[in-house]
Structures are given as structure tokens and as C-alpha cells.
Amino acid sequence: MLRGMYGAAAGMIAQQQRQEMLTNNLANANTPGFKAEQASLRAFPNMLIQAMNTKGTPGPQQTIGELTTGVYLQERMPNFRQGDLMETGNNTDLALLQGVMPETETGRPGALFYAIQNENGDVRYSRNGNVTIDGAGFLTTPAGHYMLGTNGQPIQVGNEEFRVDEQGFVFSQAGAALGQLNVVYAEDPMQLVKEGNGLLRFEGEGDLPTAIGNAAISYQLQQGFLERSNVDSQQTMTEMMSAYRSFEANQRILQAYDQSLDKAVNEIGKIG
């Protein structure tokens, strides 16, 4: 009975974690460049149940069978599929459109990102092209992190009257070249971990390599456009309802076990 309670409780915890992930996806349905997360639920290893010291059996133990021990949320994996483009007409909106990508050993397609410098001076990555201009005239993310150029330095544009071509070269209103936005390539995007504020941290060695000059990779930057979140709101709502119903089902099972245990303790064998 106690094992059944543990299994039902494990199912409730897993569905609660899945519901929190789906809620975060839905909350960021309008966040530019946001990548929806997907959950992977796995079962704990089964236990082999055997009866010991059973009379009438030739051996010391008699195999009864396997017992499941519940499920758990193994991992949360971002979906790096390209989001739809939305035209805004704003100079400070830059959409990164992926083209041809090389084949990878993992079988999953690689992904492109902007190189970003966080507040500690470390390199991070993002798909959010909703840039701003800080007080010193540098291109930054909405959270104030610098957009990096191919030289590894922030790009200073002065004001919002700048132009970005399809390859990421930045020009002033007068046509002077100000730098080139560094677009990097992740062969295995699953090595990237979300840090908040639209930033991703690379878990591999060193920094991600630049995609500029790589003949196997094609991309375009579209000024005046934004890449929308790839969250499917309708599908997410459906999955949220499914997770909620699964949570309720496990909750009812747990309540049934609790009522049975209450009777076993307080009623069975009661002396009148």
C-alpha cells in the first residue's frame, strides 16, 4: 500500500513540474525569440518482488513479479525550431533567419544565435533581436546586455538611425561602417542552458564558433522584423489540461490509498 502511495505521489510531482514548464511556455508566447521547452517523462526502474520463507516452495524464494515505482520528469529540452517572422518597421528589431545548415553527428539540426556579453563580461547567446540603444549608444538586449561584433567588442551606433544589412554589417546614417554582428553556430543546441532574460549558456568547452565565413551555413538578418516565439499556444493549453487531469487522477489514487490505510489502522481489528 505504501508503495502505491509513493507511486501516486511521484506522478503528482512529475505532472506539477510539467505544468510549471508549460505555464512558463505560455507566459512567453509573445517574447521575441523565445524557444518553448518540452518535457521528457520516464519511469523509475521496476522492482522484482519475491516472497521469502514461503512454505511449500522448493526454493527459499518465490518470484511474484515486477512492481513499478512511479515516474519522474527526466529533463526539460528547448525546441530550437525557427519562429515565425513579424514585421515591425523598427530599426531596432533584428530577426535572424536561418537558411541551409550542415548535417550533424547527432542527427539534430544546428542553430544560430547572436553573441551577447552579460553583466559579468561572459559570452552568452540569444535569439531575441528586439535590441535597444543604451545611454552610451551601444546595441544592447532589452535586459541591457551588449550585442557583440565579430571582434568580440560591443557595437556603438550612437542612436537609432542605423542600418543593418543581411550579413549583419552595421552602418551609421551617413553610411560609415560600424562593425558586424557576430552570429555563432551551435552544432548541438542541447548543450545550451537557459539562464533567464533570453540568454543561453554554452555547457561545452570554450565559446561557440562564428558562423561568418562558414560556406556550409547560410543565414540572413532582417532589420525591421522580429522572430516570434515558437510556442504553439493552442497545443500548450491542451497539454496543460492533460497534465492537470493526470495530476487529479494521481491525487484521487493517493486519497484512496489514504482512506484504505485509515481503515486498516483505525477500524480493522478494533476490539468492541
For 193-245, what is each residue's pLDDT tens digit? 999 888 999 998 889 999 999 999 999 999 999 999 999 999 999 999 999 99
Instruction: Indicate the pLDDT class of residue 104, thresholds 50, 70 and 90.
Output: confident
**What is the structure's pLDDT at 263?**
79
Give the residue-averaged pLDDT of 136-158.
Answer: 94
Give the residue-averaged pLDDT of 98-116.
Answer: 85
Distance CA 36, CA 21 (A): 9
Give the residue-averaged pLDDT of 95-105.
Answer: 85
**What is the structure's pLDDT at 70?**
74
The residue that leads in pLDDT, 105 or 121, is 121
Contact 12, 71 (CB under 8 A): no
Instruction: Indicate the pLDDT class of residue 257, thresholds 50, 70 and 90.
Output: confident
Contact 37, 24 (CB under 8 A): yes
Distance CA 22, CA 192 (A): 19
Instruction: Indicate the pLDDT class of residue 266, thresholds 50, 70 and 90.
Output: confident
**What is the structure's pLDDT at 59?**
56
Phi, psi of 269 (to 5 degrees): 80, 15
pLDDT > 80? residue 14: yes
- DSSP letter for 81, please: P
Residue that has been written with the C-alpha cell 520463507 in this structure: 53
Q: How much of the chain exceeds pLDDT 70, in percent?
A: 88
Minimal CA–CA distance to 145: which of 162, 121, 169?
Answer: 121
pLDDT > 70? residue 4: yes
Distance CA 253, CA 258 (A): 9
Least confident of 55-69, 117-131, 136-150, 194-208: 55-69
Contact 178, 157 (CB under 8 A): yes
Supply 246's cell numbers.
493526470
| Amino acid symbol at 113 | F
Minimal CA–CA distance to 231: which of 39, 25, 75, 78?
Answer: 25
pLDDT > 70? residue 165: yes
Distance CA 101, CA 206 (A): 22
Domains of the chain, residue spans: 2-78+233-266, 85-227
Distance CA 112, CA 187 (A): 9
Q: How much of the chain exceeds pLDDT 90, in percent?
A: 59
**What is the structure's pLDDT at 67?**
61
The residue that leads in pLDDT, 97 or 6, is 97
Angle at which helices 233-266 and 2-27 pack, to 10 degrees? Answer: 160
pLDDT > 90? residue 106: no
pLDDT, tens only, 17-59:
999 999 999 999 999 999 999 988 877 666 566 655 556 555 5
pLDDT > 90? residue 130: yes
Other CB atoms within 10 Å distance of the CB of residue 122: 12
3-state helix, strand, coil in the chain (%, to 5): 25, 35, 40
Contact 159, 135 (CB under 8 A): no
Helix ranges restricted to H, the chain: 2-27, 233-266
Distance CA 142, CA 243 (A): 33
Decide: residue 220, CB within 10 A, 0-12 exposed, 13-18 middle, 19+ buried: middle
Mean pLDDT of the chain: 87
Phi, psi of 179 (to 5 degrees): 145, -175
